[in-house]
Amino acid sequence: MTAAVQELGWLALRFVVDLGAMTAFAGRLLLATLTPPVRLRLFVDEVFKLGVLSLVIICVSGLAVGMVLGLQGYNTLVRFGAEQSLGAVVGLSLIRELGPVLAGLLTTGRAGSATAAEIGTMVATEQLDGIRMMSVDPIDFVVKPRALGMIFVMPFLSALFIVCGLFGGYVVGVGFMGLDGGVYMSSLESAVVFEDDVVGSFLKALVFGVLVGLVATYRGYTAAPTSAGVSAATTSTVVVASVSILVFDYFITALWGV
Amino acid sequence: MRRSAARDFLVGVFVLIGLGAVAYLSFRIGGLTYGGPGGFPLFARFDQIGGLKPRAPVVIAGVKVGQVGSIVLAEDHRARVALDVDPSLEIPADTTASIVTSGLLGDRYVSLELGGDTELLKPGDEIGFTESAIILERVIGKLVHNAGVSGGGAEGQEEER
Amino acid sequence: MVAEPHVELRDVHMAFGDRVVFERLSCAFPRGKISVILGGSGSGKSTILRLIGGLVHPVSGRVLVAGQDVTRLSERQLFEVRKKLGMLFQGGALLDSMTVFENVAFPLREHTRHSPAEVARIVHARLESVGLKNVDDLLPGQLSGGMLKRAALARAIVLEPEILLCDEPFSGLDPVSVRTIEALFHDINARSAITMVVVSHHIASTMRFAEHVLLLLPDGPVQGTPDALRRSADPRVVAFLSEEYAASPPRLVPSGAAPAPAR
């Protein structure tokens, strides 16, 4: 029993130490972002790897989630005779919550783990040391394009997820359930307010992008130089980033809604 | 660097459709207006607006012609609603603005019934004739009262707004 | 014995956590000569290279590179010192997402303002000097072990460093490639008098091309020329040399192999 409590204590301690180390890491990253060279070519490459290659999973998942929302939403609303509001229900759910959160989680699993594995492998094969020995800062050359790429890409992926979801809801509500298309759209449009909902949605996506970008690159950078180390870095990236997204989601929702 | 030409193109496409999605959500759905050539502002005062919200549609004969702008409490303690309608419309001075509900429990919107006056409203004018929103609870209450049913079930069915 | 050390370790105590690598190690590497660090596994050979490069820091002691103590420098100052160093890692450490050309060009593009044409000229010259042709568009993963080392060597010397550090350059190579790399080292050293510090466990080749040897034995280092070591009466030295000699199989010398350095 005491062993379990001890373990918990160590976990908490390690967490705090980790947090401190990650903050220092974030500081170095920020410094590298603000100083030349710009590394545009590498940044564009990362936008391709993190964004373009995530398009399929994002759009398919968005469509599926939208369709489920449409179905569940309709079945529930119809009990109150409020099925006209399906557009609003689907839209608000997607825009406020499901878009940024699910896009964030999916991207963590796909692109976040890939980034951590990539950087971790570079540590294991001494490529990062090689870069240091050539008088180049690995944080500037390796970490910066990847972290910034993730931050840049996330709001777009979230928006695409939402649009596909709205379409999915439309397909189910209008195509299958027989709602009027105009009613769906006008319910959607009148319920969604740019300043509150849409801006809040992008804000979340941006914050989630920062979270995943930081966690993935940090875990990769500090991976132990063995294959077990790389594997651990990858799994811990997915776990830590996912949980962080969900926790931050609550706080942003609470604060933004004020 | 041969492989980067195709990549660059795809990244460009990605950014374009991403921006497109963002723009769609912001303008079309979210109702963000880019303050272009100003619409046709009109005002109307109501005793009761019900649940009318800004950005609610303004319709004529069921067709959306504009949207509701700001809603403030005027000096005479009535609600002063700003309407922004299509500038190409001709709105007679004796037009009536009513707040109606979409369906039974749906969202409120403003419906304009055009009058026959030859004199037209100009931008910034106030619509003289208005019909306030119908509050369901009041109607039910009156119904119950007039029917003379005392106590019992019907009153307990007032909905919480 | 050592004229003017280019690189020097003074009283270095090195440990990783609880594991002590060596204590109070003092050694010097002469300017312009090929020095080889010999020792059994875990003796800390590669660690010395990392100390010189500033990749790790000692618990105590000083590491002097061209007179500067790298243990006292900030990261930015270290970057300046590293411009005088070239390092050949054991696995090559080429960036695997870039082609061979891009890898060798990398230091040029980062630290010089040469035009693309000039960069191409220098890169091709270096690649040729290590015997590689038509490998520009290959990825590191597509190279054989020997070619990989040579490409990494080309990258290490592309900025004409003062000091070249090589970590186990002969590991995993067939005997022909070993001779080729040896010849390259000899060549490079002869042409530009680069100070070289090579970590190796290959006794035979070491004895062939080294001008200065640092032998890391468990109870203390032994330094000297290969001849001095061969003639040494120290029982530890004798034991080490003979053991390794006995362990390595006789080497095939095919016709047309790279010439052995004249000794």
Domain residue limits at B3: 1-32
Same domain, B72 and B88: yes
| Any domain includes B7 | yes
Task: Identify the chains in contact with B, defined as 3+ C-beta pairs within 8 A.
Answer: A
Residues of chain C contacting residue A131, judged by C-beta atoms under 8 Å apart: 95
Same domain, B71 and B99: yes
Contact A100, A204 (CB under 8 A): yes
Q: Three-state SS string across C48-66, please?
A: HHHHHHCCCCCCEEEEEEC
**What pTM was estimated for this model as a whole?**
0.79
| Any domain includes B66 | yes
| B126 vs B102, higher pLDDT | B126
pLDDT tops 90 at residue B4: no
Same domain, C25 and C48: yes
Residues of chain C contacting residue A137, judged by C-beta atoms under 8 Å apart: 75, 79
| Any domain includes C89 | no
- pLDDT digits over C208-256, tens only? 888 899 888 877 788 888 888 888 888 888 877 776 554 544 444 444 4
Task: Identify the chains in contact with A, defined as 3+ C-beta pairs within 8 A.
Answer: B, C
- Confidence class of residue B104 from pLDDT cuts 50, 70 and 90? low
DSSP state, residue C133:
-
Quote the pLDDT of residue C258.
45
- pLDDT digits over C30-58, tens only? 888 899 998 877 778 889 999 999 899 88
- pLDDT digits over A105-135, tens only? 999 999 999 999 999 999 999 999 999 999 9
Contact A116, A217 (CB under 8 A): yes
Structure tokens given for A97: 């919550």
The enclosing domain of C213 has a CATH number of: 3.40.50.300
- Domain end, chosen from C141, C160, C179, is at C160
- Domain end, chosen from C112, C142, C160, is at C160
Strands C19-30 and C5-16 turn out to be antiparallel
B32 touching chain A per CB within 8 A: yes
Domain residue limits at C14: 5-84+161-247
| Any domain includes B156 | no
Same domain, C168 and C227: yes
Q: Which residue of A55, A166, A190 to mutate against B (max B Cβ within 10 Å)? A: A190
Same domain, B84 and B121: yes
Same domain, C222 and C171: yes
Cα–Cα–Cα angle for B151, B156, B159, nearest 5°? 150
Same domain, B48 and B119: yes
- pLDDT digits over C72-101, tens only? 888 888 888 999 999 999 988 999 889 999
| Any domain includes C181 | yes
- Domain end, chosen from C134, C160, C186, is at C160
Same domain, C124 and C224: no
| Any domain includes C260 | no
Dihedral pair phi/psi, residue C113, rounded to 5°: -110, 30
What number is the ipTM of this complex?
Answer: 0.83
Cβ-based contacts under 8 A for chains A and C: 48
| Any domain includes C199 | yes
Domain count, chain B: 2
Q: Which residue of C89, C159, C168 to mutate against A (max A Cβ within 10 Å)? A: C89
- pLDDT digits over A12-62, tens only? 888 888 889 999 999 999 999 998 888 999 999 999 999 999 999 999 999
Q: Residue B6 is inside which H or E element, if any?
A: helix B3-23
Domain count, chain C: 2
Same domain, B107 and B28: no
Same domain, C80 and C132: no
Which residue from A48, A156, A160 is facing B7, i.e. has the nearest CB? A48
Enumerate the domain spans of chain A: 37-256
Same domain, C115 and C60: no
| Any domain includes B19 | yes
Same domain, B45 and B112: yes
